Structure 1
Amino acid sequence: MSINVRDQFGKQLAKLAKEDSRVLALDGDLGNSTRLDSIEKETVDSFLQMGIAEQNMVGVAAGLASVGFQPWVCSFATFLTKRALDQIVVSVAQTNFDVKLVGSYSGLLTSNTGKTHHSLDDIAIMTTIPNMTVIAPSDPSETVSAMKAMHKTAGPMYLRLTRDETIPSFLPDSDFEIGKGKTLAEGTDVLLVTTGSTTFRVTEVIKQMEGVSIAHLHFPTLKPFDKELLIDAARKVPLVVTVEEHYIRGGLGSIVSEILSEELPKKVFRIGVPDRFLGCGTDEELLESNGLSVDEIRKSLTALCSKLF
Structure 2
Amino acid sequence: MKRSFRAVLLEALNRNAENYPNLVVLNADSARALSLTKFTATYPDRMYGMGISEADMLSTAAGMAATGLIPVVVGFSMFVSEKPFEQIRQSIAYPNLNVKIIATHSGLCVGQDGATHQALEDIAIMRMLPNFKVFVSADVTETKSIVDAMMKYDGPAYLRLGRDMAEDIYFEDKVSIPGGADVLLDGKDVTIAACGMMVEPALKAARALEEEGISAAVLNVYSIKPMNDKLLLEYASKTSAIVTAEDHMKAGGLGGAVAELIGQDHPVPIRRVGVNDRFGESGSQEELYLKYGLTAERIMEEARIAISAKRQIVS
Normalised TM-score (structure 2)? 0.93
Query: Are 1:97 and 1:155, in contact at CA under 8 Å, matched by a contact in 2?
Result: yes
Of 87-96 and 180-189, more deviation after overlay is shown by 180-189
Supply the distance in 2 between the matched residues of 1:208 and 1:287 (Cα, whole angstroms): 18
What is the deviation of 1:169?
4.4
Letter of the 2:17 partner, please give it: A
AA of the residue aligned to 1:139: D
Identity of aligned residues (%): 33
Q: Residue 258 of structure 1 corresponds to which residue in structure 2?
A: 260
| Distance apart, 1:94 and its partner CA | 0.9
Structure 2 residue aligned with 1:212 = 214
1:59-89 Cα shifts (integer Å, max 9, x gaps): 1101111111000001111111121111101
Structure 1 residue 173 displacement after superposition: 5.5
Aligned equivalents of 1:29 and 1:294: distance in 2? 36
Counterpart in the other structure of 2:106:
106
Corresponding position of 2:282: 280
Indicate the residue corresponding to 1:92 in structure 2: 92
- Per the TM alignment, residue 4 of structure 1 is displaced from its structure 2 partner at its CA by 2.0
Deviation at 1:141, TM superposition (A): 0.7
CA distance in 2, matches of 1:18, 1:79: 28
| Helix, strand or coil at the partner of 1:188 | coil
Cα 1:111/1:291, change in 2 over 3 Å: closer
Please give the alpha-carbon distance, in whole angstroms, between the structure 1 residues aligned to 2:6 and 2:16: 15
3-state DSSP class of the match of 1:45? coil
Code of the residue aligned with 2:86 in structure 1: it is D
In structure 1, what residue type is equivalent to 2:284?
T
Contact 2:270–2:306 under 8 Å retained in 1: no
For residue 177 of structure 1, what is the aligned residue in structure 2?
Answer: 177
How far 1:278 sits from its partner (Å)? Answer: 2.0
Q: What is the CA distance between 1:185 and its match in structure 2?
A: 1.5
CA RMSD of aligned residues (A): 1.8
Q: 2:241 aligns with which of 231, 239, 242?
A: 239
Q: d(CA) in 1 for partners of 2:2 and 2:263?
A: 40
Q: Does the 8 Å contact 2:167/2:200 carry over to 1?
A: yes
Give the aligned partner of residue 159 of structure 2: 159
Give distance in 1, aligned partners of 2:301 and 2:164. Answer: 22
**Which sections of structure 1, spanning at least 5 residues, go unmatched?**
none
Task: State the match for 2:224 in structure 1.
Answer: 222
Count of paired positions: 309
Q: Which amino acid aligns with 1:232?
A: E
Call closer, same or farther: CA 1:219–1:171 in 2, change over 3 Å. Answer: farther
Of 90-99 and 163-172, deviating more is 163-172
- Which stretch of structure 1 is more off in the superposition, 1-10 or 134-143? 1-10
- For 2:169 and 2:33, locate their aligned partners in 1 and report how far apart those are by CA, in whole Å: 21
- The Cα shift of 1:301 comes to 3.7
**Structure 2 letter corresponding to 1:145:** S
Q: Distance in 2 between matches of 1:165 and 1:143?
A: 12
Quote the offset at 1:37 in angstroms: 2.6
Q: Tell me how far 1:246 sits from its aligned partner.
A: 0.3
1:51 aligned partner: 51
- SS of alignment partner, residue 11 of structure 2: helix
Tell me if 1:18 matches 2:18: yes
Conserved 8 A contact 2:185-2:219: yes
Deviation at 1:164, TM superposition (A): 4.1
Look up the SS of the partner of 1:26 in the other structure. Answer: strand
Q: Which moved more, 1:32-41 or 1:239-248?
A: 32-41
